[in-house]
Amino acid sequence: MPVVFKKRDIKYALKRKGFVKREGKPHEFYVLMVNGKQSGIQTKLSHGSGEYSRKLLSYMRKQLGFNSMSELKDFIECPLSKDEYVKILEDTNQI
């Protein structure tokens, strides 16, 4: 079964996890804020894509610091909280 997520669902998850949008062309950039400061974790969304397929999600998975697509899926579908996400990044020395 192919993995596909709508752009609006990804944006919602990013905002809930503490990411802040930075406008750019041709993309929207999202930067993770932790304790009021920018972390080194960021990703981008294309202005044109309505859905993200496995290939684009694979790039995003790496940018967000996940080892598996199932972690990214939990991030987008929201069972993973912001605190749990930050802990994963801290445990893997990414922030």
User: What would the pLDDT profile of 38-77 be if each residue is shown by its tens digit?
Assistant: 999 999 988 776 889 889 999 999 999 999 999 999 999 9
Where in the chain are the domains? 5-91
Q: Quote the pLDDT of residue 47.
A: 72
- What DSSP string runs through 10-35? HHHHHHHTTEEEEE-SSEEEEEEEET
> Token pair for residue 13?
């998850």
Q: How many residues comprise the chain?
A: 95
Q: Quote the pLDDT of residue 37.
A: 94
- Strands 51-52 and 37-46, bridge-based pairing: unpaired
pLDDT tens profile 29-47: 999 999 999 999 999 988 7
Superfamily covering domain 5-91 = Hypothetical protein. (3.30.920.30)
Q: Quote the pLDDT of residue 95.
A: 93
Tell me the average pLDDT across 21-25: 80
> Token pair for residue 40?
């080194």
